[in-house]
Amino acid sequence: MSKIVGVNTEVKENLKFQKIIVFVGILLFIIKVIAWYFTNSVAILTDTLESIVNIITSFVGLYSLYLSSLPKDENHPYGHGKVEFISAAVEGMLIAVAGILIVFEAISNFRHPHPMGRLDIGIYLITATALINYLVGSIAVKKGKTNKSLALEASGKHLKSDTYSTLGIILGLIVISFTKILWLDSLVALIFAGIIFYTGFKIIKDSISGIMDEADNHLIDEFVTLVQAKRKNQWIDLHNLRIIKYGSTLHMDCHLTLPYYYTVDAAHDEIEELDEIVNEHFGTKVELFIHTDPCQPYSCEICSLSECPVRKSDFVATWTWDIKNVSQNQKHNLNISLNY
């Protein structure tokens, strides 16, 4: 028995905001090129090179969000949401490569320092790009988490990491303008190349986890805590819980033990109520598949349904659902639960 719900509001919001990210990336790249032209700073040059990666990845992210918004078809019965993990992996690799290229450029400048130009103009322009980057990146991360979009969240993290590196470059340029120590330009570039590389590595790791359907313990714990708090007496047992993310869609599977004498209509009503609880909380596209199991005589010990007409033994104790026991593929009784 299953219930499929959800609308495309979140996906449309993701697409719309990703278009904004594309526009912002192009605008900031132009500003950084102008700043590099006036300063001849290798640190600003490396920041400009990373902006090229920003533009490429923003287009990749936009295309992946477009694909993930397409409806299910015969070849993709679970939708196209997995493409967001691939997009995030590509973006992470490009970010990491940008970090490596920055390292080489900085080392080269250590050996052959470049004369520098109007640092004051460069500082003003780069400061403006940092402010815009952080604002757009913060909004993107927030929307990505809210709408369960790894691609949008990855774009936001990329923009924020770009902001951090830009701030370091600004501080370096200020110091250089006062001290006239040119090799500091390369040192600043090296430090923030490390930050950029780490960000790329983290995005790659998260995307691979999604492609491999790695269990999201935080999400499972959130689900279990919610259902435990809203639990009804006739919901005797919950087990074999699995949650998989496909872009902005959550696929949840579980087994729910109900009194064996319930009719199909009565069992359907219980599933409907659980479905409403889940969708009200998560506020996103959810596909909830629930397999109903009949209770067994040993279930009586953990069943608090006082008005049960066929009880075989007395109620002993409540079996509390948690992230560990609901993942087990077996019905539970008091003896099993006490061993966890």
Q: pLDDT tens per residue, the chain (340 residues)?
A: 444 333 356 667 777 787 888 888 889 889 989 998 888 887 787 778 777 777 776 776 677 667 666 666 666 555 555 666 676 777 778 778 877 877 887 787 777 777 777 888 888 998 999 899 899 888 888 887 777 666 677 778 777 877 877 787 788 888 888 887 877 777 877 877 787 788 778 878 777 766 655 556 777 888 889 988 999 999 999 998 887 776 556 778 889 999 999 999 999 999 999 888 888 887 656 678 888 999 988 889 888 888 888 988 888 888 888 888 888 877 777 665 444 4
How many CB atoms lie under 10 A from the CB of residue 170? 21
| Spatial CB neighbours of 211, under 8 Å, sequence gap ≥ 6 | 82, 85, 86, 89
Evaluate whether 289 touches 251 at the Cβ level (below 8 Å).
yes
Domains of the chain: 8-211 (1.20.1510.10), 217-338 (3.30.70.1350)
Q: How far apart are CA 48 and CA 42, in angstroms?
A: 9
Evaluate whether 159 touches 137 at the Cβ level (below 8 Å).
yes
Q: How far apart are CA 160 and CA 15, in angstroms?
A: 19
SS3 content of the chain, % helix, strand, coil (to 5): 65, 10, 25
- Evaluated on CA atoms 208, 150, 135, 91, the torsion sign reads positive
Evaluate whether 113 touches 183 at the Cβ level (below 8 Å).
yes
Q: How far apart are CA 305 and CA 256, in angstroms?
A: 15
| Furthest C-alpha separation in the chain | 89
Evaluate whether 169 touches 47 at the Cβ level (below 8 Å).
yes
DSSP notation for 68-111: HTSPP-SS-TT-STTHHHHHHHHHHHHHHHHHHHHHHHHHHHHH
Phi and psi for 115 in degrees, rounded to 5? -65, 150
Q: Which pair of tokens denotes residue 223?
A: 């689900």
Which amino acid is located at 15 in the chain? L
Pairing of strands 285-294, 249-258: parallel
